[in-house]
Amino acid sequence: MLDKLPILSLIAFSPLLGVLILLFIRKDQGKLIKIIGIATTFIPLLLAAWLYVDYQYQASPIQYKEQLDWIKVPLSHEGIQQVTTLFFEFKYTMAVDGLSLPLVFLTALISSMAALASVYIKKRWKTYFILFLLLEVGMFGVFMAQDLFLFFLFFEITLVPMFFLIGIWGYMDKEKAANRFLIYNGLGSAIMLIAFLILVTTAGFTQIPSETSLEVYYSGDIQQIAYNLFQDPNSYVNQMAAENPFYLQSGMKWALFIMLLVAFGIKLPIFPFHTWMLKVHTEAPPSVVMIHSGILLKMGAYGLIRFGILFFPEEAKHWAWVLALLGVINILYGAILAFVQKDFKLVLAYSSISHMGIVLLGLAAFNLAGMQGAVFQLISHGLISALMFLLVGIIYERTGSTMLDKLGGLASAVPFISGILLVAGMASLGLPGLSGFVGEFLAFLGLFDTLKIYAIVGTLGIILTAVYVLRGVLKITYGPIPERLQGMKDARLIEAIPMITLVAFILLLGVYPSVLSQPLQQTIGGFDQMIQSILAGKIGG
């Protein structure tokens, strides 16, 4: 049924309905603005849930494809034989597969929960929710775009709203955090753009012959680029080498893989490109950090998988030990520094670095279990980190602090909030039955099959995670309660709804992981077979 609707465009652009309505609301009507802003985020959530349920696991991985002609620019054909006309062509192409589908739903879910958490925003509500909804449009587009130019456009759309959300509604050092965010991510975007332009001009072509002429179209179509990259050595792709000076030779493939690794590694983030993230996690308001930690970091991993590993599997396989080494560094560095932090927000920031290391280990395994574990970890960490920063915001509103030495004894004052914090902590350290366990288990299982030493060293991070998580949770919830914190009120309904919802999905993935593994198995399984065939020399050169 959904194939007859432009369901992906409806999901991606439905937040603009809220933007349009908010433009006609007076800025002093704070309650109405909050209602409209929050309610609008539930439209794409309902559509994304419908999409997830309707997705056909036995059909083609690429589903719900929407395509429209967009930009077409004719070029000179001088110097290229047998070609009458050259075109640069970019199309509005949207689709989802088993890799992007869970991330689309995760984006919708966390956006709605973060919107509920935005009730604590105390100024400029109208501007805040307009930027919030524009950010949501960009995030949806990133995970559904099937054209490099469209992907880049949506990717850049996320930067501007996030910059202002940090810089206007953040804490004491908010301007520095916003500037650092923009500089680092802008640098990554510049590197990504150069890599995309090279891919378009070297592997994005399609030939359309006729009786009298030959037309060649250069586009950013992801499927077409992948098809060209994996063609047989005697195909038309390699015939272009003699005529196209920009043809994608082996050395250029190495350069492109490294460029994409750096570009998306900054977003992930990979050590040593992580310092900007620490500033954002501590200075941005909790509702914005829910989005940043829960979704935006996942865009880096998604881009690395979609464009780095799946476009250049041979280069990625050769560098698997580097990915594993970076993963181990992320895990241990993040875990050790999380243990010594006095600010709970910094504990969670370094925890995110550590958990993203597990994603790198899963990708470095270069097998089905590892890649599934990496994606599982992305979804799980998105849910857990969003829940953690939701709790940070709730605790900060009641206590005015997130410093561990100024908190304590909250279990007696706010038992419901403390219980949810304990569940989130157990999920973060990978307790069986919760979502964190599945991703970690699959990632390390896959890596043990290929790079045992890195897997063994990386498991030390799991032990350290238990230490810093339990230290933080116990310092907040147990011990004597400071006199100034006595008489605190437990969770309100608008706080309890997102807490219970996120916990429910954490439990669901922990006890019934096939709800996520089914779409992943279809897509990642196909990727794994393709990659293994390429590496075995059965496809392409």
Q: What is the pLDDT of residue 534?
A: 58
What average pLDDT score do residues 434-456 get?
Answer: 92
**Between residues 239 and 203, the one the model is more confident about:** 203
Residue 85 in this model has a pLDDT that exceeds 80: no
Rounded Cα gap, residues 191 and 121, in angstroms: 35
Lowest mean pLDDT among 175-179, 252-256, 436-440, 442-446: 252-256
Tell me the C-alpha distance between 236 and 240, whole Å: 6
Q: What is the mean pLDDT of residues 47-75?
A: 87
What pLDDT sits at residue 536? 62
Report pLDDT for 226: 86
**What is d(CA 314, CA 538) in angstroms, rounded to the nearest whole number?**
13
Averaged pLDDT for residues 61-79 = 78
Q: How many CA atoms lie within 13 A of 163 on its CB side?
A: 13
The dihedrals phi and psi of 211, each to the nearest 5 degrees, come to -65, -30
The C-alpha R_g of the chain, in whole angstroms, comes to 24
Summarised one tens digit per residue, pLDDT across range 287-312 is 999 999 999 999 999 999 999 998 88
pLDDT band, very low/low/confident/very high, at 357 (cuts 50, 70, 90): very high
pLDDT at 179: 93
Buried b / exposed e along 385-407 (16+ C-beta atoms within 10 A): bbbbbbbbbbbbebbebbebebb
Is the pLDDT at 3 greater than 70, yes or no? no
pLDDT at 250: 62
pLDDT one-digit tens code per residue, 261-274? 999 999 989 988 88
Q: Is the model's pLDDT at 531 over the cut of 70? A: no
The tens digit of pLDDT for each residue in 391-408 reads 999 999 988 888 998 888
For residues 537 and 541, give the distance between their C-alpha atoms in angstroms, rounded to a whole number. Answer: 7
pLDDT of residue 90 exceeding 80: yes
Cα(145)–Cα(95) distance, integer angstroms: 7
pLDDT at 134 over 80: yes
Strand partners, 73: 88
pLDDT at residue 71, rounded to an integer: 82
Q: What is the mean pLDDT of residues 507-524?
A: 87
**Residue 512 binned pLDDT confidence (cut-offs 50, 70, 90):** very high
Q: pLDDT tier at 196 (50, 70, 90 boundaries)?
A: very high
Least confident of 218-227, 511-520, 526-535: 526-535
> What pLDDT, on a 0 to 100 scale, did the predictor assign at position 367?
87
Q: Count the alpha carbons within 13 Å of 162 in the hemisphere toward its beta carbon.
A: 31
Q: Are 171 and 190 in contact (CB under 8 A)?
A: no
pLDDT at residue 67 greater than cutoff 80: yes
- What pLDDT does residue 481 have? 84
> Over 50: is that where the pLDDT of 241 sits?
no
- The pLDDT score that the predictor gives to residue 246 is 45
Residue 373 has pLDDT above 60, yes or no: yes
- Alpha helices, H only, 268-409: 275-283, 286-291, 297-303, 313-318, 320-340, 344-365, 368-399
Please say if the pLDDT value at position 492 is more than 60. Answer: yes
Each residue's pLDDT tens digit, 308-349: 998 888 888 889 999 999 999 999 999 999 999 999 999 999
368/96: higher pLDDT = 96
Flag whether pLDDT at 149 surpasses 70.
Answer: yes
Give the pLDDT band of residue 78 (cuts 50, 70, 90): low
Return the exposure string of 93-109: e unless at least 16 CB atoms fall within 10 Å of the residue's CB, then b: bbbbbbbbbbbbbbbbb
Across the range 174-179, mean pLDDT stands at 92
Asked whether residue 184 carries a pLDDT value surpassing 50, the answer given is yes
On the question of pLDDT at 148 being above 50, the answer is: yes
% of the chain exceeding 70 in pLDDT: 89
Rounded to an integer, what distance in angstroms lies between the CA atom of residue 49 and that of residue 109?
A: 9
Whole-number Å distance between alpha carbons of 469 and 424: 9
Please give the share of the chain, as a percent, with pLDDT higher than 90: 62
Predicted local confidence at residue 419, as pLDDT: 94
What value does the mean pLDDT take over residues 524-536?
Answer: 65
Res 255 pLDDT > 60: yes
Closest CA to 428 of 479, 460, 472: 472
The yes-or-no verdict on residue 509 having pLDDT over 50 is yes
Q: In which band, very low, low, confident or very high, does the pLDDT at 540 lie, cut at 50, 70 and 90?
A: very low
453 vs 80, higher pLDDT = 453
Please give the pLDDT value at position 541: 40
Mean pLDDT of the chain: 88
pLDDT at 132 over 90: yes
